[in-house]
Amino acid sequence: MRLANLNAYKVRPGEEDSVRSRARVATIQEMAPDVLTIQEVLVDTVDQEGWDDAAEEILRRLAADCGLACSVPDGPAEVAMAHNVHQPWYTAILWNPDTVAPIRGSFRAIGAPDFWHGITTLGLDVGAREPLTVASYHGDPFRPDARYNEALRLKGFYRRTSGVKSGVLLGDFNSISAASSPTGGYYDTEPYTRQDHDDLEYQCVPETIGGSNLADRRPSAALLRRGFMADAAAYLGAPWQPTVGYWRDGEGDPDPWGERRIDLILPTRPVAPALTGYGVHVSEASAIASDHRPVWIDLDPSNITTEGAA
């Protein structure tokens, strides 16, 4: 079974037949995910009263083009999506209806004040002992302290008495992972040490700015503590690959950061042993589709365990 994440880069209405939209569909089809989490759907384009309708139309078409589903049996919306009340920037979850099924009553859409972008969570029947709680997350881009608090809130979605739920958290974290390398040190080496620009304060430990410029890794550190979650790439010892920084100025938004890995997949403790593969999807289509490379994991649902009181 494959789960994948794609920050789709500012999806807007009316671009369904654009080069980027076709590349987005091709990229998803290349990965053939059973579950797809997505960010940056409907970005700053319509009046607030039209947000839900426009986002639903975009996601229904994308799902149909990719052979996926996005409609939930019940919940706060007809489509598994969420946004912050102050801005659209939807996150969403899509799935292959032939391999997984949404659990009735499990869909949650949470925005402000908890999250800078809305977070979408959904329980899915994947053939394991219990539902798999999947979340599509997009971290606060400007406030390291807020990202840390978002991480604690995310952790709350997965905790249970004496344990942790079976689940996977996927998304654009807008920060560097605190995962350890199998050979020692961090899996992601320090990316900012030789940089000198104003945006370092959004990513670095404050007292190190202008010196060592150390990445603020508190958000993922909270999620990874005591093995509550695992960073799939580091857990499997996959070769390091960046997920952003490969577009050059003129191809998208100016990027002062360079190549980094900020798109993460974090399975919870009962799911980590079921991992069988991890990758960053690199193709001609993915290079056009978004300024973020999609990431994916493969897992064997029969090896997902249960922990704590369900």
Lowest mean pLDDT among 57-61, 86-90, 138-142, 214-218: 86-90
Q: What is the CA radius of gyration of the chain?
A: 18
Q: What is the pLDDT of residues 228-271, one digit of tens each?
A: 999 999 999 999 999 999 887 656 676 788 899 999 999 999 99
Write down the pLDDT at residue 255. Answer: 79
**71-75 long-range Cβ contacts below 8 angstroms, 24+ apart:** 72/102, 72/107, 72/122, 73/102, 73/104, 73/105, 74/104, 74/105, 74/107, 75/105, 75/107, 75/108, 75/109
Write down the pLDDT at residue 103. Answer: 95
What one-character DSSP code corresponds to residue 118?
-
Write down the pLDDT at residue 162. Answer: 87
Write down the pLDDT at residue 87. Answer: 83
Is 135 strand, coil or helix?
strand
Residue % of the chain over a pLDDT of 70: 95
